[in-house]
Amino acid sequence: MPAIEINVINKSTNPLPEYATAGSSGMDLRASLQEPVSFRPLQRLLIPTGLFIELPAGYEAQVRPRSGLAIKQGITCLNTPGTIDADYRGEIKIILINLSGEEQVINHGDRIAQLVIQKVEKACWKETDELAITARNEGGFGHTGHQ
């Protein structure tokens, strides 16, 4: 499958994000910091990456947590997945939260999130007076698999 080209400005000293393996869906984003930052349990931080991107129309970038950071340090992303719209030109920044019981530190160059590029379908509403009946119908919030 051919890769789409995305214009990027890298104002950090970190390398550009890349896929770790041929089967990877996301590219690791790294912290771009002047000095390490520490944060207490349940504290939220906005961490810069130094990256600015120009997505083609019809695409979005999704910011997702890194499983290793979550399991090893209890750090994850809020607003997940975060959406970067095709018309956004500001710096990519990551909202992190410390869910561990200990103070945690983020250093310059730490891999703090993943970036996944996705196509976006546009929808238009068609008002109606009724919807098609399904086997599930109005069941939700844990309904499937229960009688």
**pLDDT value for 144:** 63
Read off the CATH number of the domain in which 22 is found. Answer: 2.70.40.10
**pLDDT value for 138:** 78
Mean pLDDT split into 10-residue runs, the chain, 147 residues? 91 97 96 98 98 97 96 95 97 98 98 97 96 83 61
Q: Is residue 23 part of a domain?
A: yes
Could you tell me whether strands 91-98 and 75-77 are parallel, antiparallel, or unpaired per DSSP bridges? Answer: antiparallel
- CA gap 36, 45 in Å, rounded: 12
Cα Rg, the chain, nearest whole Å: 19
Between the CA atoms of 47, 51, 56 and 58, what dihedral angle is there, to the nearest 10 degrees? -10
Q: What's the burial of 92, exposed, middle or buried (CB within 10 Å: 0-12/13-18/19+)?
A: buried
**pLDDT value for 76:** 97
DSSP state of 135: S
Q: What's the burial of 116, exposed, middle or buried (CB within 10 Å: 0-12/13-18/19+)?
A: middle
Q: Is residue 109 part of a domain?
A: yes
Q: Is residue 26 part of a domain?
A: yes
Q: Is residue 140 part of a domain?
A: no
Structure pTM? 0.88
**pLDDT value for 1:** 66
Q: Is residue 44 part of a domain?
A: yes
Q: Is residue 126 part of a domain?
A: no
Q: How many domains does the chain have?
A: 1
Question: Domain residues for 50?
Answer: 7-119
In the 3-class helix/strand/coil scheme, how is 48-74 assigned residue by residue? EEEEEEECCCCEEEEEECCHHHHHHHC
Q: Is residue 145 part of a domain?
A: no
**pLDDT value for 146:** 54
Q: What's the burial of 33, exposed, middle or buried (CB within 10 Å: 0-12/13-18/19+)?
A: middle
Q: Is residue 38 part of a domain?
A: yes
